[in-house]
A = this chain, B = another copy of it.
Amino acid sequence: MSPAQPETDHPGKTIGIVGGGSIGIAFAVVFARAGHRVRLSEPDETRRGEVPAILAHKLGDLAAFNLIDEPASAIAARVEVVADMAEAVAGAIYVQECAPERLALKQAIFAELDRLASPAVVLASASSAITASAFARDLPGRDRILVVHPGNPPFLIPVAEMVPAPFTSGEAVAFARELLASAGMAPVLVNKEIEGFVFNRLQGALLREAYCLVRDGVASVEDVDRIVREGLGLRWSVIGPFETVDLNTQGGIASHAEKMGPAYARMGAERGQDDPWTPGLVEKVAAERRALLPLEGWAERVAWRDRRLMALIRHRKAEPAA
C-alpha cells in the first residue's frame, strides 16, 4: 500500500464518514472546520433528514464561542449527507466509520469499505472497544485499516486514540496522525489492541474505585464528582497523572514512587490488585519523565503549573458554571 500524501497543510481534501449518529456528525464538524469536504453516509432516511439541522446547531454553538474562523454556514456547506457508503467513499482520502458498536456490523461495513475504496485510502473505525484485528483481519486491504477512537464530542475533546492492528501499516498510522493533528485533534498511538484501549482503561479504573467508595458508604456520588471536578480533574486537565505526581514530590516521580508507592499498593491490594511498581518499572517511567523534564527544570515547571492553574481558575471565575 502507498497512501496518498496527506497534504494536510493544503486542506480541501474529501473525507468520508460512515454513520450519522452523534459521533459521525461530530467528526463531520472536525473535518469540515479544518477546511475539508465531508461526505457523510447515513442509511436511515429519517435520520438523514435530521443531520443538517443537528450539524447547524453544533456549528452555531461553536460560532457563539468564537471557536470557528468562518461563518457556520460556510463550514456546513462543505458537508454533504448521502445515503450510501459508496457515495461517502467516492473521492475520499480517508474514511472515518462511526456506526453502532456491534462486531458483525463493523465486519460487514469494513468488508464493503475495503471493496469500495482504492488501496491508497486509509479506513478508520471510531470503535471504542472492538479492535481492527476483530473486524478486518481477513480483508485484502487490511494494512490501511485501524481504529481511531475519539473523545466525545471530538470537536471539543481533542484526544483521538489511534489503535492499529499488528497488520496495519506504519504508513497508514502516520497518515491518520498527520490528518488528525492538522484538523486540530491530539492523536495518540496505542501500541497494543487491548480492550478499552488507554482512555477507557483509565476511565474504568477510576470509575470502579468510585463505585467501591459509594458502595462502602465512604462518599456520595456527588461528593466523588466534586472531588474530581474541584481537585483531581482540574489538575489533570493541565498536566496528566504522571506529571502530576512528578511535580508533587521533590526529586520527581522516582521519589514519589518510593514515598507513596507502598500506600498505593496497599489500596490496590484491597481491590485485589497486585501490579507492583518494581524498581525496573519505576526506572522506566522516571527515565521518560526526566527526558521530558530534567530535574534542573523541575522548580520552574512547578511554577509554570501554578500559573496555568491560576489562568484556569481565573477563567472559571469569569465564567461560572451557573
Contact = CB atoms under 8 A, between A and B. Distances in A.
Contact of A310 (B61, B196, B208, B217): B61
A308 interface: yes
Nearest to A315: B315
Interface in A120-162: 129, 151-153, 156-159, 161
Contact of A242 (B200, B221, B267): B221
B237 A233 contact: yes
A157 B230 contact: yes
Max chain B Cβ within 10 angstroms of own Cβ: one of A198, A212, A216, A307: A198
Interface in A238-296: 238-245, 248, 263-264, 266-268, 271-275, 277, 281, 284-285, 288-289, 292
B157 A61 contact: no
Contact of A188 (B203, B223, B285): B223
Contacts of A4: none
A195 interface: yes
Max chain B Cβ within 10 angstroms of own Cβ: one of A129, A213, A239, A277: A213
A10 interface: no
23 contacts: A61-B306, A64-B310, A65-B314, A157-B231, A158-B231, A192-B216, A196-B267, A198-B213, A198-B223, A198-B224, A204-B264, A205-B208, A208-B264, A214-B285, A215-B281, A221-B242, A221-B285, A221-B292, A229-B239, A238-B321, A271-B272, A312-B315, A315-B315
Given A188-B227, A224-B242, A237-B237, 13 more contacts: A67-B314, A156-B310, A186-B226, A188-B223, A192-B216, A198-B223, A207-B241, A221-B242, A222-B292, A233-B235, A237-B312, A238-B321, A271-B275
